[in-house]
Structure 1
Amino acid sequence: MAKVLTVALVVIMLVVGFGVGLISSPFLLAQSSSSTDTVWANIQKTGVIRVGTDPTWPPYQLIDNQTGKIVGFEVDLADACAAKLGLTIDWQSVAFDNIILSVQQGQLDMGVSGFSVTPERLDQVSFTIPHSTTEGQIVMLKSVADAKHITTVTSLAELKSLGITVGVQSGNVEQTELQDAGVPIATWSDSAAPFQDMVSANPSVQAVYAETPITTSWIATFQSEGKSATVIYSHPYYPVAFLTAKGSHTLLDKMDGALAQLIYDGTVDQLKAKWHA
């Protein structure tokens, strides 16, 4: 009899333990979140999303010379997402390498500035679903490339052996890549300055490292000015997305939903065609 009772108790304990496991498992049952998205709560009160961007990254972001307003592919796309949510965006011009910190500190709700989704940044902030994928490219004036007998290079490290100084925007992933490869660099806080320096009368750099479609945009601009630029190095790059603070889970979910709809209905493709992005 004692043996039967012992077996029965073991069976009961196993059943109870299994039930507790089900309840506590994050994979089997939805978990309630005790955290409150204060960013989304404030957005609901104001009806406005505060977004930081560096408007020197055409065609993603730039200043309209006639209106003085921030325009571009990502600007239109983020505005369309906000409209889906019944919200508007307060666009704020912020230096690129200050945007993530401003989002983390709550001075901005979101960052929209051609941000590459990298493992390092994922430790700092959260990203929406990507809206684009790009290529990393080294751009050089064709006259300089011809003078140095360069058609293409196969790696960033090769630029070091060729004695080429490369311009790059500070805070970009490209800056880290160039430094890791030991390439001499010059940095600027905005993305336009390296390209402008490269084609100036007394350039401090012979090439610029950036991503498509920004490189494509500058090559077209140079061509319109009678200057020929060429791509000497190109490789697949990170996807591009909007970013939020780590705790802004509701804002992130809402933006993901809006983006998914705009991808599905063709709006994203239409905006890419409009801005050559």
Structure 2
Amino acid sequence: MFISNSSRRAVVGAAGAALLVLSLAACGEKESTEQPGAGPSATTAADAALAAKVPDAIKADGVIKVGTDSTYAPAEFLDADGKTVVGFDVDLFNAVAAKLGLKAEFESAPFDAILPGVDSGKYEVGVSSFTVNEERKKSVNMVSYFSAGTQWATKSGNPNKVDPNDACGKKIAVQTGTVQFDDITARSKKCTDAGKPAITIDQYQAQSDATAAVVSGKNDAMLADSPVGAYAVKQTNGQLELLGDIYESAPYGYVVKKDQTAFAEALRDAVQAVITDGSYKTALSKWGVEAGGISNPALNP
């Protein structure tokens, strides 16, 4: 979940829609998982000029070693085999690596171990829905590639006429321990302060359960991290629709060592290249998260 301060989300694991169940079976595995031919990189041609910008130490073996916390569908999670990392972060970074003439190798790791792993050289880049913020930029370089915030979703057609700006008296689902719970709690207080009915807030341990509650009609709507909500809409085959705009957005960034500015610049230029050639949109559309797309990647925005 998007957090405005140092962490990317309030709950790690159980954060995706239905397919996250698959990732939990092998959560925490640390075996290296290559992605041969996965996603857009299978057809993304290398750019000689961009490849030339990659430092020799990085391109020597033709591989970018990537640290990722594979518990966060649809960004990065373990496939049914319990070891292959999949998701929109994976497909997109495969395309970025291919532009640089390299192949990405993803290794699952605890979220809080990735930044130290990048700093130590265990990983050459961290790709794990890291929110760009000032605290992180003090110790690493960050290349923006996506934007995430909070978004509402409701049953298709919005039969209960939910208005995110006036949900007083409605039944709203959120995942336990998330910033969305704080958000909806504050909105409910505004209702009661104005003499209106409180919002009924139902908390669920798993985001997939919150999604199911809206599909069944138990709840009128839900709040979730914007890519997670968009993925839930896609997975329910049109039973849900997004409601209103994404808000409180911030960029996600690839993480590179602080002293590897040239490599970070090459990554930024490669992100721009996949935006230009359309493989960026292909990767996001595949997972239903194109609403978080950006047009101008930046180094340490």
Q: What TM-score do the two structures reach when normalised by structure 1?
A: 0.58
Q: Which runs of structure 2 are paired with 1:1-277 in the superposition (5 Å)?
A: 40-65=55-80, 68-128=83-143, 130-137=144-151, 151=162, 167=175, 174=179, 194-196=206-208, 198=210, 210-221=224-235, 223=236, 235-277=247-289
CA distance in 2, matches of 1:262, 1:230: 27
* Larger helix proportion of the pair: 1
Quote the sequence identity (%): 28
Q: Aligned in 2, Cα 1:215/1:250: closer, same or farther, shift over 3 Å?
A: same
CA distance in 1, matches of 2:212, 2:277: 43
Amino acid at match of 1:109: E
Q: Aligned in 2, Cα 1:168/1:150: closer, same or farther, shift over 3 Å?
A: farther
Q: Aligned in 2, Cα 1:101/1:200: closer, same or farther, shift over 3 Å?
A: farther
Q: Is the 1:60–1:74 Cα contact (8 Å) retained in structure 2?
A: yes
What 5-or-longer segments of structure 2 have no aligned partner?
A: 1-53, 189-200, 214-218, 290-301
CA distance in 2, matches of 1:209, 1:97: 25
Q: Aligned in 2, Cα 1:263/1:45: closer, same or farther, shift over 3 Å?
A: same
CA distance in 2, matches of 1:208, 1:99: 31
CA distance in 1, matches of 2:175, 2:67: 24
Q: Aligned in 2, Cα 1:263/1:61: closer, same or farther, shift over 3 Å?
A: same
SS of the equivalent of 1:213 reads: helix
Q: Is the 1:54–1:113 Cα contact (8 Å) retained in structure 2?
A: yes
What 5-or-longer segments of structure 1 have no aligned partner?
A: 1-38, 188-192
Q: Is the 2:99–2:274 Cα contact (8 Å) retained in structure 1?
A: no
Q: Aligned in 2, Cα 1:79/1:199: closer, same or farther, shift over 3 Å?
A: closer
TM-aligned CA deviation for residue 262 of structure 1: 1.2
CA distance in 2, matches of 1:209, 1:100: 29
Q: Is the 2:125–2:256 Cα contact (8 Å) retained in structure 1?
A: yes
Q: Aligned in 2, Cα 1:274/1:153: closer, same or farther, shift over 3 Å?
A: closer
Q: Aligned in 2, Cα 1:119/1:41: closer, same or farther, shift over 3 Å?
A: same
Q: Is the 2:174–2:224 Cα contact (8 Å) retained in structure 1?
A: no
- Cα RMSD of the aligned pairs, angstroms, is 4.3
SS of the equivalent of 1:242 reads: strand
Q: Is the 1:60–1:75 Cα contact (8 Å) retained in structure 2?
A: yes
Whichever of the two has the greater Rg, that structure is: 1
2:296 corresponding residue in structure 1? none
Amino acid at match of 1:52: G
SS of the equivalent of 2:60 reads: helix
Amino acid at match of 1:50: K
Q: Aligned in 2, Cα 1:232/1:260: closer, same or farther, shift over 3 Å?
A: closer
CA distance in 2, matches of 1:101, 1:239: 21
SS of the equivalent of 1:235 reads: strand
TM-aligned CA deviation for residue 101 of structure 1: 2.7
Q: What TM-score do the two structures reach when normalised by structure 2?
A: 0.54
